[in-house]
Amino acid sequence: MRRISYINGISGVTPGGVATLKMPLARRFHALKLFTSVTETVAGNSTASEDPEDVIDYVKLIVNGVVIRDLTPAQFIKIAQANFGGTAVSNHIPIFFSDPTRATVIGEEATSWDMASQEMFVIEIKLKAGTTAPRVEVLASYDFGRNLADGKPFLNIVKQHAITVNAPQGEYDIVNLPTQLPIQRIHIEPSTGTVTLVEVKADGEDVFEATKAQNDAIHVDYGIDSPFGFSVIFDYEQQITSPLKVTRELNVRPTFSAANNATLLLERISRGYA
C-alpha cells in the first residue's frame, strides 16, 4: 500500500535562503507535492499567496550528491500539465517519480525512485528574496516495495534538467545537447515569439519533423496537451521503452519566429542516480 505523509525536518526556510530537506531512505518514492505560502506586500497592502511561483525560485532533487532534477516551479507544473491534458495547477508543485499516465501499473512504477542502498536524498529549495513568512511543506507518496526484474533490483529514473540557448530568428541547429542517456522528451520554451517547426536528426537519420499544429494533433490522441512552446515527445504513447537513443550525434533544429533566449527542458531515462 502506498502511504501519504508529510516529510518533516526542512531547514533554512527564510526569504532569499536555500532550504534543505533530508529525505528518509529505505523506501520507494512515487511522488512529491510541495505546498507553499507567503505574505506579499504591495503598495502597503499585505496579501497571502499559495502560488509556489511567488515563493520559490527553483527546486533541486539531489541523490548521493548528484543533481537529478533542477527546475523552476513553472517548469515542474508545465510537465504535469502536459501529461494530464493541460489541467491547470496553481497551488503546489507536483513532482512525479512513478508516472500516473503510463499505460500499465508496471509501467508507472518502473520509474519510481527506489532509495534502498542509497546514501542520501536531499531536496534543495531556493526561496525568493523580499518575501515575508514563507512556508514550505513536502507531502510524499511512497511505499516499502522494490523495483524488481527477475528478482533483481533495478532503477529506471527520469532526470529533468533545463538548458538555455541564444537562438536567432528562423532555423537554429542545436548540436550540443547531452546524448549519454536515452531522451524521452525535449520541451522548448522561447522567451519571446513562437516555435513553428522542429526537426530532429539522430546519428544521421531524421527521427522527428512536424509543425506545431501537426505535433499537437498527434499528442491529443494520447491525452497530451503541452503548455510549452513546442514539445518533442518521443514516448508520446506513454511507453518508457520508446525513448530516443543516440549513439553518435544529435541535431535539434527548431524554427523560431523571433530571436530569443530559448530554454530546452530535457527528460532522460537513467539506470541509476549517477
Contact between 99 and 160 under an 8 Å Cβ cutoff? The reply is no
What mean pLDDT, rounded, does the chain reach?
A: 93
What phi, psi does 54 have (nearest 5°)? Answer: -85, -10
Q: Which residue has the higher pLDDT, 29 or 86?
A: 29
Contact between 57 and 130 under an 8 Å Cβ cutoff? The reply is no
Mean pLDDT of 71-83: 92
Q: Evaluate if pTM is beyond 0.85.
A: yes
The whole-number pLDDT of residue 124 equals 98
Q: Domains in the chain, start-ordered, CATH in brackets?
A: 3-155 (2.60.120.730), 159-270 (2.60.120.730)
55-69 pLDDT, tens digit per residue, is: 999 999 999 999 999
172-190 pLDDT, tens digit per residue, is: 999 999 999 999 999 999 9
Q: How many residues does the structure list for the chain?
A: 274
3-state secondary structure of 215: helix
